[in-house]
Structure 1
């Protein structure tokens, strides 16, 4: 009888021990499942890294809502016996509104500049195929245009102006004289022939002019005409760009005059 009672009393203890073991196992499994490690070096090595929450970048610009939030916080923490002066509060609100208005005005100005640049390029497209006078003494001759026209600016009347035509290396191609007795802007044309009367090869050439001013030889400013082949939009800062044959690009604002041919 004592053996039977002893055996029967030991059953609950085994059941309790098994229950504790099961609970421990489940707890261990849950802990390993939700934890960052499993205790097994191999499994820990192949475990995918947990995704880390990357905070989104926040706009650092203070807006009107932020100002009112700060103002509300200030009012809630101020000394009731020393309230904020109404004039100071109104001045702060007016200053913030002014800054916000200036920011919006800048955005509108940028949009207006973009629209004006496009409109300017559209108007400049009417110059394609025509010749414009640019503040440069360098012109180009080609099969389409075998001569270079320009304008010599004189400070006063000059009896005779010496014109020198030089190639890109600075070699003299031809020299001739023009009448400058009228003063002011004197038209000049090089027919594209060298000093031997042979046509010069296509390329860029510089027209230099000099004359005696008050008895002293002086270099004179020369502007040349160039053929407009196309127009580029450019940027807000530069505006429309005219692409000139054999010369390159030039801003529309730098054009001195427009010729019919």
Structure 2
């Protein structure tokens, strides 16, 4: 609730400031234009006065500038509202586990297995997952067989190649996918909990407990 109230207040304040700045800018432009126009009329050559077409053209230019100012103000307001909406959407994910690009696996005393996923750009006849410990030593090679294009879920049972349970700790994995002699592009996906939401000039990002920062577009699934 506090996040929503703060975001709404910030959005309203930003919109009000943008509107005030735009109004001041437009008013200044109109005042300067009218002052120049009056000066021009007062100092025109009596034998060669300004034609109606010239006056109409200058008034049209002022109208165009004013219209652009108002359009910019409207667009700024819409972008501000869009940013606030994204923050609220992202804040609703705090505390949830999301599946996103990453190769982290974790084994704990309370969790003897670890779920992950493999995303393939195309179907593959042979997919292999290699799991390594914190020192980079291979502890398990999993032959996954054939996989379809898209996101494919999988689970590591927490055992090494000898069939023994590995020690609790952090692990990583890599993927090799082939379709005959053709290498299929693959992306490792892992689950991590959303700890916080951050907004910057680049947009809204999710801060994960795994120590990574991802954008909303990186999320494949949340639980």
Q: Same fold (TM over 0.5)?
A: yes
- Give deviations 1:13-57, integer Å, cap 9, x for gaps: xxxxxxxxxxxxxxxxxxxxxxxxxxxxxxxxxxxxxxxxxxxxx
Cα distance in 2 for partners of 1:88, 1:231 equals 56
Cα distance in 2 for partners of 1:254, 1:152 equals 12
Cα distance in 1 for partners of 2:54, 2:132 equals 72
- Point out the structure with the larger strand share: 2
Residue 156 of structure 1 is matched in structure 2 by 123
Please tell me whether the aligned partners of residues 132 and 258 of structure 1 are also in contact (alpha carbons under 8 angstroms): yes
Residue 199 of structure 1 is matched in structure 2 by 166
Residue 252 of structure 1 is matched in structure 2 by 216
User: Which range moves more in the overlay, 64-73 or 167-176?
Assistant: 167-176
Show the 5 A alignment for 1:138-217: 138-141=103-106, 143=108, 147-158=114-125, 160-167=126-133, 170-195=136-161, 197-203=164-170, 205-217=171-183
Please tell me whether the aligned partners of residues 163 and 177 of structure 1 are also in contact (alpha carbons under 8 angstroms): yes
CA positional deviation for 1:75: 1.0
Structure 2 SS opposite 1:63 = helix
Residue 16 of structure 2 is matched in structure 1 by none
Residue 20 of structure 1 is matched in structure 2 by none
Please tell me whether the aligned partners of residues 152 and 188 of structure 1 are also in contact (alpha carbons under 8 angstroms): no
Residue 239 of structure 1 is matched in structure 2 by 203
TM-align CA RMSD: 3.0
Structure 1 SS opposite 2:92 = helix
The alignment of Structure 1 onto Structure 2 pairs a total of residues equal to 196
CA positional deviation for 1:164: 1.0
Please tell me whether the aligned partners of residues 120 and 184 of structure 2 are also in contact (alpha carbons under 8 angstroms): no
CA positional deviation for 1:176: 1.0
In structure 2, list runs of 5 or more residues that go unmatched.
1-23
In structure 1, list runs of 5 or more residues that go unmatched.
1-58
TM-score, normalising length: structure 1: 0.63
Cα distance in 1 for partners of 2:150, 2:73 equals 46
CA positional deviation for 1:127: 1.6
Residue 92 of structure 1 is matched in structure 2 by 58
CA positional deviation for 1:194: 4.2
Asked if 1:120 is matched to 2:86, the reply is yes
Asked if 1:137 is matched to 2:98, the reply is no
Residue 230 of structure 1 is matched in structure 2 by 196
Higher RCO structure (Cα 8 Å, ≥6 apart): 2
Equivalent of residue 105 in structure 1, options 65, 68, 71: 71
Show the 5 A alignment for 1:8-157: 63-134=29-100, 136-141=101-106, 143=108, 147-157=114-124
Cα distance in 2 for partners of 1:151, 1:243 equals 22
